[in-house]
Structure 1
Amino acid sequence: MNLLIKGITIADPNSEFNQQTADVRVEQGKISAIEKNLLPLKNEAIFESNGAVLSPGFFDLNCMIGDPGLETKEDIQTGTAAAKAGGFTGLAVLPNTKPVVQSKGEVEYILNRAKNNLVDVFPIGAISHDLEGKELAELFDMKNAGAVAFSDGSKAISDDGFVSRALQYSLGFDGLLMLYPENKSIAGKAQVNESKNNVLLGMKGVPALAEEMQVSRDIFLATYHNAPIHISNISTLGSVALIKKAKKDGVKITCDVAAHQLVFTEDLLNDFDSNYKVKPPLRGKSDQKALLAGLKDGTIDAVSSQHRPHEIEFKDVEFEIAAYGIIALQTVLPLLLQAGLDSNLIAEKLSINPRSILNLTIPKIKKGEVANFVIYNPTKKWEYNATNNASKSSNSPLMGKTLTGKVELVYNNNQFQKYEQ
């Protein structure tokens, strides 16, 4: 579909037009012109920017979609609708479904279900059979079928030898393991951060040590095998320091942080609102400060949504029995803006680096390139509510809140979706 974007500020560190204001023309799915004062053509939709920013389409590294088997939480149609509304043109979806995505059949099912969508959907295969951390899933077959990486989602793998064998095996076909960092024997059944706050709440705390011991183990194994490894959803000051040193030492390690960890802290748990119950738990202000610094100095490669949809009966219950997670695809951008990230850093951490980690094509705002972008207004205020929530679930602490930073248009696969300006 043809589109003319007038007077837009471009935010793409890979573009010669980065941080410049220009008109952008898209014809038959490709960027055909980036110039000043382009005149409209026949049969061309026109978008007036009014202070908006154009960036390569966002990509999420850590998203839960219930299809197959858990479609009452989220299916591919509603998940991609929420993704579009949040500015995402690509999703890497976790294998935590029923059945688990652990063979080429499930990978092919997801790819077929997601065909002809504006949002590109990429399956992540399970590392272990039934996510039990005991027997390798069909990694090679899944890779050949289209899996972009392997993960057991938010389930940590305790068996060090198993992870070692998985790394060694995946090296043979350039497979990437994405590991959740938690030492379960240290974390136990605790559900909130270990600090003075957990004592006040009267609940057992998860020490930062539980995460950092696992990060250390994974760094040792990646070093031993000279294998790439990705750590998902880090949350502590110590994890940032460990990964920073590992990168300096030449370890092939990447990592991401969930957007909510950059804004929310454990203080929000004082009312026992189960919509703030996430895994890893919300940490302290010193952790949050370190995470932001790690994003800015390059230690943390990417931001993820950690989108975890749940039916109401799993969240509208007492805190200690509530499920972990929040829906987040539509609120990542406002949270990053609230955290103080500028448009270039947002493009780097939410568009460029996530695709680079998975060796996917990185869209560029450049003449002749395939059009894959998001337009957002960084100062536009809007209320997140039941009417504009595109997810099938509603477990978000931001529901009913006024947010700043509004996605106004997404374009990919020769399709575009425009939202109210």
Structure 2
Amino acid sequence: MKFLIKSATIVDPNSSFNGQVKDILIDKGQIVQIDSEIEAKGAELYDATGQFVSPGWMDMHANFGDPGLETKEDINSGCAAAAAGGFTAVAVMPNTNPPLHSKSEIEYLKNRAKGQAVDVFPIGSLSVKREGVDIAELYDMTQSGAVAFSDGNKPVQNAGLMMRSLQYALAFNGLVISYAEDASIAEKAKVNEGVTSTYLGMKGIPNMAEELMVARDIFLAEYTGGKIHFTTVSTAGSVELIRAARKKGLQVTADVAAHHLLLDDSVLMGFDSNYKVKPPLRSQHDIKALKAGLKEGVIDAVVSQHTPHEIEFKDQEFETSAFGISSLETTYAVFNMACEKVLALEEMVDALAISPREILNLEIPVVDLNKKANITIFDPDHKWTLASENIRSKSKNTPFIGKELKGKAFAIFNNGQLKIN
């Protein structure tokens, strides 16, 4: 099957056609021609006039429910949500039941995801059952397709386990992902510690709970020589610590969730549980530092932190409701609205498509001749409103329903499949 994309502006720093308005002809999943005016009889036509084409985006922090929690999100619904958000690839956290803690679960997930337009890459559990006690089968999981290792939304409290994991992963160039939180400081608090928590009369999670763990894991990475990636960093102090580590030449990378770039903790005044996330929404001071970190390259990637929940987990008192936003479909718009005056379009594409794959040591798609067609078609200026009935995810725990958003992915092409939103 042939596909012809007409009049698209190519945004890809690795492409010889970067910045040019071109037609793109795809045949059998390969880009076979890029030119100003292409005629291709029998080709399926997509008119991309006024739209942009970039390498397919990759989300390196999403939560699906398969295996065991499919009522939250299964592979089909998760991939549909990812495609609707403009992603051609997702790396899924091991927050499942059972966790992705051995080669059996990794192989199961890889097999379940075959044939999708969205590539699914499992992140293996760092510890057995994500209990933070014994190191899981890291090498075996790598052989089966795991791209990194993390205990997901369970921070590793045991410094010895983290140190030994970093040392062990060195043997096969494995990547350890740290969700940084000192649980003894965060305790059972639900919101950021600050003016808003005081006003609401709620115990807050101080920035220090994250920063202590970032500092610890940087020390461990320096000691072991291992690679560590910090996911969903949320504080100014964390940015500063990572900046200093990178200046020292350590193998440290980081990502930030899109909602942490747009929303501060003042939105919690209405006790809307759809804004309840972890790390919690922070202050405007932190948001400014996160944006500066992205601009400088201290923070490499932007992620969705897609965390779908059934309605009964969110439709309850704020204090007892679950953490997380169902966010794959709104990540680009939220990121675009937060950073459109901070980052150039190429820098946004880098954070969405290129850096995540560099961190995970995956092949980076290029919009160029004789390359596999793995692309996202989008418009940063398109305004739209998220409607509940249009959400592809099984879960609708998002604060953006009914809100006007700016920036939308209109289609993806990957694995020989065109998915139009």
TM-score interval, smaller chain: over 0.9
Match of 1:347 in 2: 349
1:386, distance to aligned residue in structure 2 (A) = 2.0
Match of 2:242 in 1: 243
Alignment of 1:106-121 (within 5 A): 106-121=105-120
Q: TM-score, normalised by structure 2?
A: 0.98
| Equivalent position SS for 2:390 | coil
Give the whole-Å Cα distance in 1 for the aligned partners of 2:230 and 2:191: 20
Aligned partner letter, 2:28:
Q
Match of 2:209 in 1: 210
Give the whole-Å Cα distance in 1 for the aligned partners of 2:212 and 2:204: 16
Give the whole-Å Cα distance in 2 for the aligned partners of 1:347 and 1:406: 13
Is 359-368 or 18-27 further displaced after alignment?
Answer: 18-27
Give the whole-Å Cα distance in 1 for the aligned partners of 2:390 and 2:10: 27
Q: Please give the per-residue CA displacement for 1:221-245, whole angstroms capped at 9, x wherever unaligned.
A: 0000111100110000010011011
Give the whole-Å Cα distance in 2 for the aligned partners of 1:174 and 1:251: 14
Give the whole-Å Cα distance in 2 for the aligned partners of 1:123 and 1:410: 21
Match of 2:4 in 1: 4
Q: Please give the per-residue CA displacement for 1:112-141, whole angstroms capped at 9, x wherever unaligned.
A: 100011000011110011111101111111
Match of 2:397 in 1: 395
Alignment of 1:19-418 (within 5 A): 19-39=19-39, 41-339=40-338, 340=340, 341-418=343-420
1:30, distance to aligned residue in structure 2 (A) = 0.7
Give the whole-Å Cα distance in 1 for the aligned partners of 2:379 and 2:172: 42
Give the whole-Å Cα distance in 1 for the aligned partners of 2:13 and 2:243: 23
Aligned partner letter, 2:401:
M
Aligned partner letter, 2:330:
T
1:45, distance to aligned residue in structure 2 (A) = 1.3
1:151, distance to aligned residue in structure 2 (A) = 0.6
Aligned partner letter, 1:143:
T
| Equivalent position SS for 1:310 | coil
| Equivalent position SS for 2:217 | helix
Give the whole-Å Cα distance in 2 for the aligned partners of 1:50 and 1:37: 13
Give the whole-Å Cα distance in 2 for the aligned partners of 1:53 and 1:42: 24
Aligned partner letter, 1:139:
L
1:343, distance to aligned residue in structure 2 (A) = 2.0
Aligned partner letter, 1:200:
Y
Unaligned runs of 5+ in 2: none
Aligned partner letter, 1:24:
I
1:35, distance to aligned residue in structure 2 (A) = 1.4
Aligned partner letter, 2:10:
I
Structure 1's consecutive aligned runs of 4 or more residues displaced over 2 angstroms after TM superposition are none
Q: Please give the per-residue CA displacement for 1:95-117, whole angstroms capped at 9, x wherever unaligned.
A: 11011111110001000100011
Give the whole-Å Cα distance in 2 for the aligned partners of 1:407 and 1:388: 14
Give the whole-Å Cα distance in 1 for the aligned partners of 2:232 and 2:411: 28
Give the whole-Å Cα distance in 2 for the aligned partners of 1:170 and 1:342: 35
Give the whole-Å Cα distance in 2 for the aligned partners of 1:356 and 1:406: 24
1:27, distance to aligned residue in structure 2 (A) = 1.2
Tell me the percent identity: 51
| Equivalent position SS for 1:417 | strand
Aligned partner letter, 1:384:
L
In the alignment of these two chains, the number of paired residues is 418
1:355, distance to aligned residue in structure 2 (A) = 0.6
Give the whole-Å Cα distance in 1 for the aligned partners of 2:250 and 2:185: 25
Q: Please give the per-residue CA displacement for 1:158-215, whole angstroms capped at 9, x wherever unaligned.
A: 1111111111111111111101010111111111111111100110011111111100
Q: TM-score, normalised by structure 1?
A: 0.98
Aligned partner letter, 1:38:
I
Give the whole-Å Cα distance in 1 for the aligned partners of 2:213 and 2:128: 21
Give the whole-Å Cα distance in 1 for the aligned partners of 2:344 and 2:395: 30
1:399, distance to aligned residue in structure 2 (A) = 1.3
Unaligned runs of 5+ in 1: none
1:5, distance to aligned residue in structure 2 (A) = 1.4
1:342, distance to aligned residue in structure 2 (A) = 3.3
| Equivalent position SS for 1:281 | coil
Aligned partner letter, 2:19:
Q
Give the whole-Å Cα distance in 2 for the aligned partners of 1:19 and 1:291: 27
Give the whole-Å Cα distance in 2 for the aligned partners of 1:19 and 1:284: 36
Give the whole-Å Cα distance in 2 for the aligned partners of 1:273 and 1:205: 16
Aligned partner letter, 1:30:
Q
Give the whole-Å Cα distance in 2 for the aligned partners of 1:19 and 1:270: 43
Give the whole-Å Cα distance in 2 for the aligned partners of 1:143 and 1:210: 31
| Equivalent position SS for 2:388 | coil
| Equivalent position SS for 2:242 | helix
1:402, distance to aligned residue in structure 2 (A) = 2.1
